[in-house]
A and B are shown apart, each in its own frame.
Chain A
Amino acid sequence: MPAGRRGPAAQSARRPPPLLPLLLLCVLGAPQAGSGAHTAVISPQDPTLLIGSSLLATCSVHGDPPGATAEGLYWTLNGRRLPPELSRVLNASTLALALANLNGSRQQSGDNLVCHARDGSILAGSCLYVGLPPEKPVNISCWSKNMKDLTCRWTPGAHGETFLHTNYSLKYKLRWYGQDNTCEEYHTVGPHSCHIPKDLALFTPYEIWVEATNRLGSARSDVLTLDILDVVTTDPPPDVHVSRVGGLEDQLSVRWVSPPALKDFLFQAKYQIRYRVEDSVDWKVVDDVSNQTSCRLAGLKPGTVYFVQVRCNPFGIYGSKKAGIWSEWSHPTAASTPRSERSGPGGGACEPRGGEPSSGPVRRELKQFLGWLKKHAYCSNLSFRLYDQWRAWMQKSHKTRNQDEGILPSGRRGTARGPAR
């Protein structure tokens, strides 16, 4: 019966005669002529059973001198002596065992059922494999890194544990032609995953499925059909830089580069930015960053270190209509906002460079005001750029005033200090 994934095995002995059978006969289960020792044979040897089923086993003693008796024999299972009421002497040399409602095997190498002589010595052993057949694998998901490979992941099945070693095999083929292929690189991104490194076709769908097999049977997942172009992901954007925006204490500028692996391919790119305060675990995500490689974070806390990450979704490759798959996040890049006495508003948003209005509430209202002003007050030169310049000027003059008056942060008076870092 199948026993899961088998390692490479020698097909035949290089030199006759093979010594292992002799070697093994010396270990257990074979009588030794003239030695006065008894051995036994357990039947069945290494059975496979469903959880909850029953087992009737026998231990038959033979040896030299003949007339070995089953008197005094006893059984252990995984080292524990079994109650005598489960055993019965069938005949002079055979002890039977009846086990009911078996639990799942304790270890994948099988439960150890052992027949002992009266003095406790081991006469014979047999390994029980008690479990469940595999369930249909589900939730297959796949992605291709830069259209060069395919990695798939799946879930074993609703109940998971079979108590038996279960082998999973990912299979794939081109939808309308071609032979079945078997993935070979397993456990690349978790226990139930496989990686196909090369020789993949584009613009034609693949059929992908997973087969699960153990000693009690096999199961096959539903077939997933996909085109490589619809499941493309890429590396995180490289060269992410985060820097201050002049003296603005509540803003940071983020710049990055489009992933170079896809530079020769026609696609659109969506980006996401996330950032958090240095000693926090809560990330804030900025979603509305489409097809540009820079962004300004606003509404940040002054004098605070932020960690920033960027990721990319290369959707629309060669006209694919699917949503695409987000890359991993880039390595965190840290920067700090300038220190200020005034704390900025807590919200976070991405301001595109060039001073276009953002979605923060204060700045939204200001945008509306500026729009009204342009219409009714002939202030054609008003813009957010002017507003930011005004804010920077305000901070600078506020600091200068504080230094002149010897006011420290928190409003205390004292010796004037240089600008805070």
Chain B
Amino acid sequence: MSRREGNLEDPQADSSVSLLPHLEAKIRQTHSLAHLLTKYAEQLLQEYVQLQGDPFGLPSFSPPRLPVAGLSAPAPSHAGLPVHERLRLDAAALAALPPLLDVVRRRQAELNPRAQRLLRRLEDAARQARALGAAVEALLAALGAANRGPRAEPPTATASAASAAGVFPAKVLGLRVCGLYREWLSRTEGDLGQLLAGGPA
């Protein structure tokens, strides 16, 4: 985003200069939101493992980290990308998470019907992922760095397919999704922090 020479008689110049503090405030706000949601994601993960029973909560538990269709973990090369590119990937992941979290919630409603707090957290997580994804996309648009290509549709999942799977694989899937949710939130928080440090220009 280029900065024009200040000119009191040029309203357009005025607005572009005055936009920067506003944008910075928006970045700061979105960063704070990501930080808060990262904490919630941590709590969600803890509550989830507790309700699935051991070995899910044990430190030694290490199920295979196989990829989930439509969403992968942040790649090691992610950190080396330009910040705008990283934020685009963050927004795409945040858009992919809500249907996956919904599937996990529906399955947990069958497996742990009395676990109202877990079910509420899963529902909130889907909503919060959408909100943060929208906020990141808005920032990217304001920075002129929005994705101009066709938008990839997030994967849809069906409850009937979820209920057909075995219980143990469904528990592992839920763990994976909650783990990915936490990872992507943490990544988004970090990338927004870098954007804040570097400034919007």
List A residues at the B interface (Cβ < 8 Å): 3-7, 9-15, 18-24, 26-29, 45-46, 76, 78-80, 106-114, 120-122, 124-127, 165, 167
Contact = CB atoms under 8 A, between A and B. Distances in A.
A125 B155 CA distance: 26
Given A13-B156, A23-B157, A122-B64, A7 B169 contact: no
A202 B163 CA distance: 44
A26 B67 contact: yes
B162 A112 contact: no
Contacts of B106: 7, 9-10
Contacts, number: 148
A14 to B, nearest CB: 6
B161 A112 contact: no
Given A9-B160, A165-B114, A121 B64 contact: yes
A112 B53 contact: yes
Interface residues of B, number: 46
- Main SS class of interface, A: loop
Contacts of A24: 161-162, 165, 169-170, 173
Nearest to A13: B158
Interface stretch (B1-9, B55-63, B76-84, B133-141): B55-63
Nearest to B169: A28
Contacts of A5: 113
B166 A29 contact: yes
B69 interface: yes
A9 B163 contact: yes
Interface in B93-127: 100, 103, 106, 109-114, 119
Contacts of B168: 28, 46, 110, 112-114, 124-127
Nearest to B108: A109
Contacts of B187: none
B86 interface: no
B54 A78 contact: yes
B52 A112 contact: yes
